[in-house]
Structures are given as structure tokens and as C-alpha cells.
Structure 1
Amino acid sequence: MSDKPTTVEVNILDKAYLVACPDEARGELQQAARHLDSQMREIRASGKVFGTERIAVMAALNITHELLQNDVSEGAAKVLERMNSRLDEALGESGN
């Protein structure tokens, strides 16, 4: 496996884009492009947003929001995990 980038063609809203990408990340890039394409098609189909640039910005905002929500959820899960662990330790120390 080489970190040397190769050119990968992805299609978003029926337009081809050439993107430099390491071979080992090719599948992830294609998956990301499919996700972006899907988000943009949904926004375009809603009929509320016009213009490729505006559709792309709305898709970027939606995807960023999803990522931030996941980060918050994962962060909350970690806090709950730590609290649970501390409770287990405290209960173990008290003999219960």
C-alpha cells in the first residue's frame, strides 16, 4: 500500500469530479461522494433550494450537523460510561 495519491473520478449531481486520493482511501472517498450526492439530490428534490452551489452548501451544513450530533452523542456516552464506572467502584468499596 502506498500513500501516493491516485486520481479517482466521483460523480455528484451527474457531474464528474477528479479527486486525488491514496489507493487505500479510495472506497471511503467513493462512499463519501455517494453520501454527498444523495444529500444533494434530496435537497434538490425538495424544490426549496435552487442552484448547485446553494444545494451543496445546504448539504454541507446538514452533513456537518449530523457529524456534530454524533460527536455530542459519543461524548455523552463516554461521560455516562465514566459515571457508571465510578458508581461501580463506589458501590464496590462500600461492600454493596
Structure 2
Amino acid sequence: MNTSVSDPVALRLIDREFLIACSPEEREGLLEAATFLDRKMRELRANARAPSFERLAVLAAISVTHELMALRKQHETQEQRLSEGLATLRHKLDAAFEENLVKR
């Protein structure tokens, strides 16, 4: 987070409130992240037997991290395909230009 801080922002996770200092630019994103995490923790709580807040937090962290890693891998795969496609296109363009130069 940025070093220039504003008044703390209140984040609610399950039934607990946390005050987090952040810059004004980070406030909206932090609130969105807290809302996402709160939903994830509530979803996990609905499917668990008497879970503690700490256990829910760990399970949510693992779940969100797993989702992030899967998205990163998907992004890397798409980026690799795009790079390969661009290299193929560049090769075809080079060959076409070369062929055009030879014909002159």
C-alpha cells in the first residue's frame, strides 16, 4: 500500500470490523476487496461445521489464492499463444515482403 495515508477505512468481515489505513486512491479497491473476501468467508461458513473466524480466514485465503494462481496460469497460456501467433504472422509478412522484393 501507499505510504501517504488517510483516515482509516472500516472493513467488515463476517461480524468483525477492521480499521485499515490507506491512501485515498486505494480506498475504493480496498472496500471492493473486503466485500469480495466477506462473501467468500460467508460462503465457506455456510458449508462448514462451527468454523472459527480464523479458520474461515485461512480457508478463504487458500481459496482466493488458488483462484488467482489459476487465472495467472490462464493469462500466461493466452500470452504465450498470442506471442506465438504474432511470431507466425511476422514470419509470413517477412516472407511476403521478401517474395515481393525478389519479383521486382
So what's the TM-score if we normalise by structure 2?
A: 0.82
CA contact (8 A) 1:43 1:49 kept: no
Partner residue, 1:72? 73
Distance 1:48 1:92, change over 3 A: farther
Aligned AA (1:19): I
Deviation at 1:71, TM superposition (A): 1.0
% identity of equivalent residues: 28
How many residues get paired? 95
CA contact (8 A) 2:5 2:21 kept: no
CA distance in 2 between counterparts of 1:6 and 1:76 reads 41
For structure 1, list consecutive stretches of 5 or more residues without a partner in the other structure.
Answer: none
* CA RMSD across the alignment: 1.9
Deviation at 1:74, TM superposition (A): 1.0
Which protein is richer in strand relative to its size? 1
CA contact (8 A) 1:7 1:21 kept: yes
So what's the TM-score if we normalise by structure 1?
A: 0.89
CA distance in 2 between counterparts of 1:74 and 1:26 reads 27
Max radius of gyration: which structure? 2
Distance 1:85 1:57, change over 3 A: same
- Secondary structure of the equivalent of 1:17? strand
Deviation at 1:47, TM superposition (A): 2.4
Deviation at 1:73, TM superposition (A): 1.1
For structure 2, list consecutive stretches of 5 or more residues without a partner in the other structure.
Answer: 100-104
Answering whether residue 68 of structure 2 is matched by residue 81 of structure 1, we say no
- Secondary structure of the equivalent of 2:20? strand
Aligned AA (1:34): T
